[in-house]
Structure 1
Amino acid sequence: MERIIEEIREDLSRRIAVTADRLADRTLAEDPAYAALLGRAELRERIHHNLRQAVEGLVLGIRGLPVELADARATGTLRAEQGLPLASLLRTYRRGGRLVWQALNEAVAAHDPAALPRLLPAAGVLWDVLDQLTDAVADAYRRTEAARWDRDRERRAALLDALLDGAGPSDGPALSEAAAQLGLPERGRFAVVVLGAGGSGGSGDPGGPGRTDAEPAASGLRVLWRIRADGETGLVELGHHPLESVRELLGPLRARAGVSPVVETPGDLARARWLAALALRTVPASGGPCTALLDERLPTALVASQAELAGRLRQVVLGPVLALPAEDRRVLLNTLGTWLTCHGSTTYAAQRLYCHRNTVSNRLRRLEQLTGRTLSDPAHVVELALAHAAVLQRAAGEPAAPGAKPAGRAPRRSN
C-alpha cells in the first residue's frame, strides 16, 4: 500500500491542491464564522496544509508509526483564541477527511484501476489518523477555551468588585468603564442583593449565582453574581421591573437575603451593597428564608447600623426586663414582640401566643412597670420597638449557650 501511494504521490498532490480550493470555497460560502475570520487565501492555505498532513499521517500509520499531532493542537489553540466555533472547525476537518479519501481513490484509479482493492485496508488507517487529528484539535480547543473563560471570569469579577467596593485597583478602569465592560448602562435602575450564610446561591438558578454574569432570569431581571470570602452578592439590573420582583428572583434559593433600595448609576452601587448588607442584618438568623427590602425595615435597620447606640437602647429601655431570670425575660420579650407584630392588638397577640387575652394584658402591664414606659404613648412604643429589635439583633449575633434550649411559644402563665 505504501508503494502505491509513493507511485501516485505527484498526482495525489495535484488533486489535494484542487480539493483544498473546493473546500475553501464551500466553507466560506456555507460558514459565516469562517468567512468573518479568514480570507480565502489564508483559509485555502490552511486547508491545503491539513489535507497534506492527513496524507502524511496515513503513510506513518501504514508504517505503524505515531502520527504527528503538534500542528493539529496548534490549530485548535489558535482557532479557540480567535473565537471560531468548535463545530465549524471540526466540520471542516471531517469534510477534509472525506475529500482526502476521495482524492486517494481517484488517483489510484487513474494510475492502476486493478490496484483499487488493495486500497481498502488503508481506509481503516486513514479514519484512525483523522480521528487522532480531530481529537487533538478538539482537545486543544477545549483547553484553550477553558483557560480563556477563566481569564475572562477573573477579569469580570475584578470589574464587578470595582463596582461593589466603589474602587478598583489603582491602574484599573473607572467605575463607568467597568460598568460598560459588564454591559451595564451609565444610568438605569439597579439594586444589590446580599445573601446570608448558608444561602444556596452557588447552586440555585435565578440567573446563575456563582457566576459574574448571567442572562436575564425567568423573572426578566439580569443578575451579576459574585462569591467572595465575605459572602455572596448579586447586582440586579432591574430595567422597568419593580424592586419587589427581586423576591420572585430569590424565591428558589430559600435563603436569607437583604436588598438595597434602587440606585441609578454605577457609582451608587458600593453604597447600595452596604445598604443591602444592612437589610440582611434585620433578618433573624433562625427565622428561615426571608428577603428583606431595606425600605420596609428602616427602623430595625437603623438599630442595626448603630451598634453602640443599640446597646445603650437595650440597657436604658429594657434593662430591668433583661435582668430578670431567663424564663421570665423570654416570656415578656416574646409577648412584647408578638404584640408589636399584631399592631398593638392584645386579642390577636393572645391568639398567636395560645393564651388568654388577660394573660397578655397582665404581661404587658408588668412590662410597663419594669420599663417605666406606657404602651398607650406612641413615643414609648417607638422606644420599646427599637429596643426590642436591638435585643433580637444581639441574640442573632451571639452563639447559643451550651445546653440552651431554643425558644418556643410562651407557656400558659397568669402573670
Structure 2
Amino acid sequence: MERIIEEIREDLDRRIAVAADRLTDRTLTEDPAYAAPLGRAELRGRMHHTLRQAVEGLVRASRGEPVELADARAAGALRAGQGLPLASLRRTYRYGGRLVWQCLTEAVAAHDRAALPRLLAGAGALWDVLDQMADAASEAYHRVGAERGERERERRAALLDALLDGQAAAARSPEALAAAAAQLGLPERGRFAVVVLGSAGPGGGGPGTAGSDGGGPEPDAPRVLWRIRADGETGLAELGHHPLEALRALLAPLPVRAGISPVVGTPAELAGARRLAALALRTAPPAAGPGAAALLDERLPAALVAADPELAARLREVVLGPVLALPPQEARVLLVTLGTWLACQGSTTYAAQRLYCHRNTVSNRLRRLEQLTGRALSDPAHVVELALAHAAVSQRPTSGPPAPPAAAAGGGPTPAGTERRSPRSPG
C-alpha cells in the first residue's frame, strides 16, 4: 500500500486538495452551525489536514506503525470546547473517508488501471484508520465535555451556596445575590422557598445532585434546584404560581423527612429561608414517608421550641419531669394521650376514637397527668405550657419515651362515624 501511494503521491495530493474543498462546501451547506466558529478558510484548512492525516495513517498502518492520533484528539477537544455536537464531528470523518477512498481509486486508475485490484486490500485498512481517528476525537470530546460539565456543576453549586448560605461578599451585596440568581435562571423578584431534607433511609435518596433540577420538574410542579453537601441536601424552589403545599406533594414519594420554609420574595431572603427550613425539619414527624414534610408556618409552636434546645430541655424537665420519671411504658401512654388530646382540639371523645379506648379512659389519664404536672387542662396558659413541653419531648433524640406521629399531629378532630386512624400529619 505504501508503494502504491508513493507512486501516485503528486496526483493524490491534488485530488485531496479538491476533496477538501468539496467537504468544506458540503459542511457549510449541511451543517452551518458546526462550520460557523471557524470560518471557511480555517475550516477548509482543517478538512484538508484531516484528509491528509487519513492517507498518512494508511501509510503508517501498512508499515505496522501506530496511527498518529494527536490531531484527532485536538479536534475533538476543540469541538467540545465550542459546544458543538459530536455527531457533526463524526460525520466529517465518515464523509472524509469516502472522499479519500474516491481520491485513491481515481488516482490509481489514472496512473495504472491494472493496479486497482492491489488497492482493494487497503480498503479495510483505510476504514480502520478512520475509525481510530473518529474514536480518538470522540474520546477527547467526551473527556472535555465531562470536565466542562463538572466545572458547570461546581459553578452552579457555588452560586447556590451564595444564595442559601449568605456567606462572603455576596451576603453583604444584594446586587451580587441578584446576579447569582440570574445566572441560575431565577428572577430578581418572585416566589421562592427552601426545602431541607433529613437523612434518607436504607436504599433511599434525595431527588437531585449539586446544582441540578433533580432530573427536571414535572410539567405542573415548581422548579427546584438541589444542592448536596456533607451536612445534608437542600432545595431552592421557584414556586411561580404554585402554592407552597405543592412542595409537600412533590416530596411525598421520597423516603425522607423534610422541612419547608415560608415563601420569600427575593434572593437576599433565601439564606434566612434556609435557616427556617432547617428549623421546620426539626419539627417533622420522626418517620419518613408521605406527610413527613413539615411546613414551618404550620408548626410555629414546635419550631419555637426547636429553636432553643437548652430552653426546650428545661421546658421538658419543669413541665413534664414527673411524667418522664415514670416507667417508660407508663410515661408513653400519658404522653400519647396528651398529644392526641391536643391534636383533637381538646375533645376527649375524638381522642378516644383515635386511641381506640373509652372516653373515660382518656379522662382518667388526663386527670393523672394534671396531678403529676400541677397543670390544669382547663387553664389556657397551662395548656400552652403542656403543648410546648410535649413538642419538646417529641423533638428529643432517642432518649426517653417519645410520642408517635399521631401525638404530634396538629389536625382537627375526627368526626364521629368516620374511620378511626391516625391522620396524615398536616406538616
TM more than 0.5: yes
State the partner residue of 1:229: 230
Q: Give the drift of 1:237.
A: 1.1
Counterpart contact for 2:319–2:385, Cα < 8 Å? yes
Query: Alpha-carbon deviations, 1:231-262, whole Å to 9, x = none?
Result: 11011111111111112221221310001111
State the distance in 1 between where 2:264 and 2:328 align: 44
Instruction: Identify the residue that residue 413 of structure 1 maps to in structure 2.
Output: none
Count residues in correspondence: 402
SS of equivalent to 1:344: coil
Q: How is 1:15-414 mapped onto 2 (pairs within 5 angstroms)?
A: 15-168=15-168, 174-198=176-200, 203=205, 205=207, 209-214=208-213, 216-218=216-218, 219-286=220-287, 288-289=289-290, 290-394=292-396, 397-398=397-398
Counterpart Cα distance in 2 of 1:38 and 1:276? 50
Do 1:76 and 1:139's aligned partners in 2 also have CA atoms closer than 8 Å? yes
Deviates most, 384-393 or 344-353: 344-353
Q: Give the SS at the match of 2:211.
A: coil
**Secondary structure class of the residue paired with 1:252:** coil
Distance 2:110 2:205 in 1: 62
Structure 2 spans left out of the alignment, 5+ residues: 408-427
Please state whether the residue corresponding to 1:273 is helix, strand or coil: helix
Moved more, 311-320 or 165-174: 165-174
Deviation at 1:14, TM superposition (A): 1.1
Q: 1:200 to 1:92 in 2, by over 3 A?
A: farther
What CA deviation, in whole Å up to 9, does each residue of 1:264-287 have, x standing for no partner?
A: 111111000000000000013346
Q: What's the CA shift for 1:204? A: 5.1
Give the TM-score normalised by structure 1: 0.91
Q: Return the alpha-carbon distance in structure 2 between the equivalents of residues 188 and 320 of structure 1.
A: 49
Whether the 8 Å contact between 2:195 and 2:274 is mirrored in structure 1 is yes
Q: CA deviation at 1:408?
A: 12
Cα distance in structure 2, aligned partners of 1:409 and 1:57: 75
SS for the counterpart of 2:36 is: helix
What is the Cα deviation at residue 94 of structure 1?
A: 1.2
Per-residue displacement from partner, 1:279-318 (whole Å, max 9, x unpaired)? 0000133465511111111111111112222223222322
- Decide whether aligned partners of structure 1 residues 200 and 72 sit closer, same or farther in structure 2, where only a CA change above 3 A counts: farther
For residues 408 and 392 of structure 1, the distance between their equivalents in structure 2, rounded to whole angstroms, comes to 9
In the alignment, is the contact (CA less than 8 A) between 2:164 and 2:271 conserved in 1? Answer: yes
Which runs of 5 or more structure 1 residues have no equivalent in the other structure? 411-415
SS at match of 1:68: coil
- Aligned amino acid, residue 227 of structure 2: R
Whether the aligned pair in 1 keeps the contact of 2:24 and 2:43 (CA below 8 Å) is yes
For normalisation by structure 2, the TM-score amounts to 0.88
- Give the RMSD, CA atoms, in angstroms: 2.5
Q: What amino acid is aligned across from residue 385 of structure 1 in structure 2? A: A
Contact 2:306 2:395 in 1 (8 A): yes
Give the drift of 1:157.
0.9
Relative distance call for 1:105 and 1:287 in structure 2 (3 A) is closer
CA distance in 2, matches of 1:182, 1:202: 27
The secondary structure found in structure 2 opposite 1:232 is strand
Note closer, same or farther for the CA distance 1:322–1:220 as it changes in structure 2 (3 Å cut).
closer
Q: Give the 3 Å change call, closer, same or farther, for CA 57–203 of structure 1 in structure 2.
A: farther
Q: Cα deviation per residue 1:361-398 (whole Å; 9 max; x = unaligned)?
A: 1111111222222222333222211111011112xx24
- Say whether the 8 Å CA contact 1:190–1:236 is kept in structure 2: yes
> Conserved in 2, the CA contact under 8 Å of 1:200 and 1:255?
no
